[in-house]
Amino acid sequence: MPVTAGTAPARPGPPRALALLAAAHAGPALAVTAVTGLLALRAALHPMDAAAVTAAVFTGQLTIGWGNDLLDLSRDRAVGRTDKPLVAGSLPVGWVARALVVAAVASLVLSALAGWRSALVNVVLATGAGHAYNFGLKATRWSWVPYTCGFGMLPSVVTLAASPPHWAPWWMTAAGAALGVGAHLLNVLPDLADDEATGVRGLPHRIGERPSRALAAVLLTAASLLAVTAPAGSPPAWAWTALALVTVLAVLTWFGRGRAPFRAAVTIALLDVVLLTVA
């Protein structure tokens, strides 16, 4: 079977629909979408507005994932990333490119349905930040900026779709930003060697594995503190319990060995999401 330019040789693999989801980085995309849905529920949005803003964020996240795999294709091939569908040949490049365009149009339409304020923040500061990362910031010392912007602005993407529209509280924006940078540091750690081999040197690569892990623990713990102590009123008992657990996990992140520190930091991030969405 002839191979067209830009298309890897076909190999046995998952169905193309599943491969397309894998190329979109479906796990992170669904996680961000779930957080958006919980924030919409917390903000008591009208069901139609909640559906529009959640779907807008989801389709925007899909464009970021597909864009990442398209732009990184040559680098992924160089380091043998056969876990990626485009490299493995289980998915044609054209499919991903067309899916990206469809998702981008859908995200723009859905964002508009949520109101122009929410749309502007989502398209420029949330989804746009993800594409800025893909297009070059990931390889600079400023690699953390898109995560600060994208996660920090996510609560406001939701609240600006409310009636009346309003910015999210400062503490929620700050906690989201801290969570975003912490997530960036953790997300890059498993790929440090491959990234270095292909010339990608973001903040985690420049400061190293152990400092990145420690900084992630500090930022994620700060996000927890903000989510528990900054909202008006007295925090519930369960929130203090969660904060105590975060403290224990932070110590494990700093001083643990093997995979334990990474898993502890990921657990803190998950607790932060819970605290942020129900605080």
pLDDT digits (tens, 9 = 90+) for 225-255: 999 999 988 899 999 999 999 999 998 888 8
Digit-coded pLDDT (tens) for 24-74: 999 999 999 999 999 999 999 999 999 999 999 999 999 999 999 999 999
12-168 maps to CATH 1.10.3720.10:
no
Q: What is the reported pLDDT for 141?
A: 96
CATH topology of domain 169-279: Four Helix Bundle (Hemerythrin (Met), subunit A) (1.20.120)
With a threshold of 0.85, does the pTM exceed it?
A: yes
Helix 170-188 × helix 209-229 angle, to 10°: 160
Question: What is the rounded average pLDDT of the residues 117-126?
Answer: 98
Please say whether the beta carbons of 97 and 7 come within 8 A.
Answer: no
Cα distance between residue 215 and residue 196, in whole Å: 20
pLDDT grade, residue 156 (50/70/90)? very high
CB 271 within 8 A of CB 185: no
Q: Distance (Å, rounded) from C-alpha 75 to C-alpha 268?
A: 31
Q: What is the mean pLDDT of residues 199-226?
A: 93
pLDDT for res 6: 44
Helix, strand, coil shares, percent, the chain, to 5: 75, 0, 25
Residue 2 has pLDDT above 70, yes or no: no
pLDDT of residue 255: 81
Domain-wise residue ranges, the chain:
12-168, 169-279
Distances (CA, A) of 127 to 172, 238, 242: 19, 33, 30
pLDDT at 10: 47
- Cβ-based burial of 36 (10 A; exposed 0-12, middle 13-18, buried ≥19): buried
- pLDDT band for 13, please (50, 70, 90 cuts): low
